[in-house]
């Protein structure tokens, strides 16, 4: 049963990109009253603390709603990123990364200083559930996707205003980079599954992460449903002087570009171009 408009958006987006796991609804919690009644709690219900990537994995693969407060956390980086505790000086001085991951404490401090995080105490926890069934309104929708699906998502989100996604990329703390920058900026983000996400939560080689803040989830659903964003090639061709769209051909002509034999560049119809590369 669809409970809110975001469930409907989730269904429309799933229909367009067919992800392998459920798109996630993620909400930052300000009080225990905001915890959904059906939410599991790692410490209470599983008798163990868990990393946020593991909670997200249970939500996106098994459809479980999971709320995680400070006492439920196992990985310290989301505790800092989500503002559930004050970062220790050890972290701020770079020793979270040095000596194993960076060349110097200064390099580690650079990373710590730029680490995206909420103000300490602004939130008390985080809850995740499938976007299509969540009983709460998300702050951000998080999609684990392959490169073809990411392409569709980027095309879909750009449909309304034509703007590209400017993102912050890191090899660490995928759960933080997927959530915090999107909420702070109100803009979409791309993140890379980190080693913890891969080794402890099952993220795969072909997965990337795309995050959409609450205000843009509807724009994404609508953008994906237009013909110009709704198809991608399914075969590969290295044919030179391949079929250009009419708009590309016109742009080339306006700049004085020509075919190698000196003839004018011709534009091809959408149907001709789709047939050439078997778009789906």
pLDDT bin (cut points 50, 70, 90) of residue 144 is very high
Model pLDDT for residues 95-137, shown as the tens digit of each residue? 999 999 999 999 999 999 999 999 999 999 999 999 999 999 9
Model pLDDT for residues 34-90, shown as the tens digit of each residue? 999 999 999 999 999 999 999 999 999 999 999 999 999 999 999 999 999 999 999
- In whole angstroms, what is the distance from residue 124 CA to residue 52 CA? 14
pLDDT at 234 over 90: no
Edge to edge, the sheet with strand 140-145 lists 66-69, 125-130, 24-29, 140-145, 208-213, 189-191
């Amino acid at each position: 049963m669809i409970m809110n408009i975001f469930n409907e958006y989730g269904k429309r987006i799933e229909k367009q990109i067919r992800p392998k796991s459920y798109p996630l609804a993620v909400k930052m919690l300000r009080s225990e009253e905001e915890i959904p009644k059906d939410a599991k709690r790692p410490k209470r219900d599983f008798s163990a603390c868990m990393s946020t990537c593991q909670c997200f994995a249970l939500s996106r693969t098994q459809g479980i709603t999971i709320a995680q407060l400070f006492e439920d956390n196992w990985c310290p980086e989301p505790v800092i990123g989500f503002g559930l505790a004050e970062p220790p000086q050890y972290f701020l001085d770079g020793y979270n990364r040095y000596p194993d991951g960076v060349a110097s404490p200064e390099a580690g401090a650079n990373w710590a200083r730029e680490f995206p995080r909420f103000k300490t105490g602004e939130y008390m926890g985080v809850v995740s559930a499938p976007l299509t069934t969540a009983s709460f309104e998300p702050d951000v929708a998080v999609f684990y996707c392959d490169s073809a699906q990411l392409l569709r998502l980027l095309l879909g989100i750009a449909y309304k205003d034509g703007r590209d996604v400017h993102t912050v990329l890191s090899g660490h703390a995928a759960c933080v980079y997927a959530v915090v920058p999107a909420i702070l900026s109100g803009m979409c983000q791309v993140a890379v599954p980190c080693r913890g996400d891969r080794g402890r939560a099952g993220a795969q080689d072909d997965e990337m992460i795309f995050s959409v803040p609450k205000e843009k989830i509807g724009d994404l659903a609508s953008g994906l449903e237009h013909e110009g964003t709704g198809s991608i090639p399914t075969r590969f061709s290295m044919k030179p002087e391949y079929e250009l769209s009419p708009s590309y051909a016109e742009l080339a002509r306006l700049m004085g570009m020509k075919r190698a034999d000196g003839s004018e560049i011709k534009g091809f119809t959408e149907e001709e171009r789709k047939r050439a590369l078997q778009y789906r």
